[in-house]
């Protein structure tokens, strides 16, 4: 019996010598403090035991968790080739042989292309000038006691400096009615969209003075009618508010901050100024759009807070379209002429993704061709 007890005692002593105290084997001893303290290396069998005893994470546990609901989605990169192909296919369909395009996003011109034209050369953009006028006046209004809801009768110092007195029926109209083409004024007065013919009448100053003084031009019903006359009046208001020429004022306010340094009110149609006088390259106009009509601009994301006609989509020099969960802003430009070389067209499309497309070309096209390009580019941008 004493022999058996002796063998048991020897076995316990050997176990303590080999494995150490039993309490060291538990997971609860693994902690930051313990890990940082110097420890004697464990024998190989026990080290292997501790390692295998910890559960390995499964492949399912290692997968990336879904992003939080409030994290913004990352837009897919622009397919530049797809956009250019849409533009070139459109040119082929409508027999355009001279054109340039620019594609940009997040303040950078990403891609340009041209056919017998260069994207960095300025060309007349016709009615794309209206977006410049609207942004120019929007900035001036923010620095004044007026806003888009102010009737033009409030601008007494402007009319004094311009030596013009608006007729009472027109003076009561708010600025918003002019920028959204809901004033009731006609498209043109005593002229048509001809590039160079009848320049003495097709001017900002003639349109503005004729419309402001004669209420016979005013329709009683305030429905949306696209009107160059509206923007001629806004162009004159800009001159009255700034005390400078329209072109110099709006270049300094809108084009220079955007880095569109080659833009100017110039060329054969310079006198149309606020409604058609700008000459801008495709690249520079893309810079203007990215700066002033990015998705985070309040007049882009919430046009009704400024000036907006819901039926037509007319906002601050742009037309808003909401379709298939897409929000785009666009405008078109056209100069007709008896001389083919003076015929000009232009378009821009700005997407709520931040992408912008601009094109100009030689030729006078019908509205269906503009719609065709706008739809093709909208699809390519998304």
Collect all residues with Cβ–Cβ distance below 8 Å to 320 and sequence separation of at least 6: 303, 308, 313, 314, 327, 328, 329
Pick from 113, 91, 90: which is nearest to 100 by CA? 113
Average pLDDT over residues 272-280: 97
Among 235, 274, 281, 275, residue whose Cα is nearest residue 260: 281
CA distance 326 to 378: 9
Lowest mean pLDDT among 125-129, 322-326, 347-351, 358-362: 322-326
Mean pLDDT of the residues in the chain: 84
In terms of residues, how long is the chain?
382
Decide if 366 is inside a domain: yes
Q: Is residue 34 part of a domain?
A: no
Q: Is residue 302 part of a domain?
A: yes
Contact (CB, 8 A) for 269 and 335: yes
Task: Summarize the confidence of residues 28-42 as an average pLDDT.
Answer: 35
CATH number, domain with residue 305: 3.40.710.10
pLDDT grade for 221, boundaries at 50, 70 and 90: confident
Give the span between the Cα atoms of 11 and 16, in whole angstroms. Answer: 9
pTM of the predicted model over 0.75? yes
Most confident of 2-11, 29-38, 173-182: 173-182
37 in any annotated domain: no
Residue 94 within any structural domain of the chain = yes
pLDDT exceeds 60 at position 61: no
Residue 339 is part of which domain span?
A: 80-381
Copy the structure tokens of residue 22.
């039993």
In a domain, 101, yes or no: yes
Residue of 267, 147, 272 whose CA lies nearest to 204:
272
Give tens-digit pLDDT for 73-120: 435 678 999 999 999 999 999 999 999 999 999 999 999 999 999 999
Give the whole-angstrom CA distance, residue 330 versus residue 48.
Answer: 69
Mean pLDDT in residue range 270-299: 97
In a domain, 313, yes or no: yes
Starting at the earlier edge strand, list the strands of the sheet with 264-265.
123-124, 278-280, 264-265
Indicate if the pLDDT at residue 55 is higher than 90: no
- Could you read off the pLDDT of 179-196 as tens digits, one per residue? 999 999 999 988 665 545
> Residue 71 domain-assigned?
no
Q: How many domains does the chain have?
A: 1
pLDDT value at 25 more than 70 = no
Can you give the pLDDT at residue 194? Answer: 55
Query: What kind and span of H or E run contains 6?
Result: helix 2-19
Q: In this predicted model, what pLDDT tens digit does every residue of 322-353 receive, in sequence order?
A: 998 999 999 999 999 989 999 999 999 999 99
């Amino acid at each position: 019996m004493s022999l058996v007890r002796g063998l048991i005692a020897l076995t316990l002593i050997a176990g303590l010598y080999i494995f150490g105290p039993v309490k060291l084997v538990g997971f609860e001893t693994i902690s930051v403090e313990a890990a940082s303290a110097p420890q004697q290396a464990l024998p190989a069998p026990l080290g292997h035991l501790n390692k295998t005893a910890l559960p390995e994470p499964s492949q399912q546990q290692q997968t990336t968790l879904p992003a939080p609901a409030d994290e913004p989605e990352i837009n897919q990169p622009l397919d530049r080739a797809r956009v250019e192909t849409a533009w070139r296919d459109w040119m082929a369909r409508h027999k355009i042989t001279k054109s340039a395009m620019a594609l940009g996003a997040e303040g950078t011109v990403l891609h340009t292309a041209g056919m017998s034209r260069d994207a960095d050369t300025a060309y007349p953009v016709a009615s794309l000038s209206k977006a410049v006028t609207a942004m120019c006046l929007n900035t001036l209004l923010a620095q004044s006691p007026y806003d888009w809801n102010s009737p033009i009768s409030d601008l007494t110092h402007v009319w004094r400096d311009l030596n013009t007195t608006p007729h009472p029926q027109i003076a009561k109209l708010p600025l918003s009615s002019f920028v959204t083409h809901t004033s009731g004024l006609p498209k043109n007065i005593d002229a048509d969209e001809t590039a160079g013919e009848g320049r003495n009448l097709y001017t900002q100053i003639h349109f503005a003075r004729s419309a402001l003084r004669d209420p016979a031009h005013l329709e009683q019903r305030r429905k949306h009618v696209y009107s160059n006359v509206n923007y001629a009046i806004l162009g004159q208001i800009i001159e009255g508010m700034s005390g400078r020429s329209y072109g110099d004022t709006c270049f300094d306010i809108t084009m220079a901050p955007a880095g569109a340094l080659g833009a100017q009110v110039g060329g054969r149609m310079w006198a149309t100024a606020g409604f058609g006088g700008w000459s801008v390259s495709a690249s520079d106009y893309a810079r203007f759009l990215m700066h002033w009509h990015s998705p985070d601009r309040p007049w882009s994301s919430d046009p009704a807070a400024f000036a907006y006609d819901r039926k037509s989509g007319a906002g601050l020099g742009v037309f808003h379209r909401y379709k298939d969960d897409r929000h785009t802003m666009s405008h078109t430009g056209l100069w007709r002429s008896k001389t083919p070389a003076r015929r000009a067209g232009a378009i821009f499309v700005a997407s709520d993704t931040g992408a912008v497309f601009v094109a100009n070309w030689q030729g006078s096209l019908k509205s269906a061709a503009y719609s065709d390009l706008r739809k093709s580019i909208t699809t390519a941008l998304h």
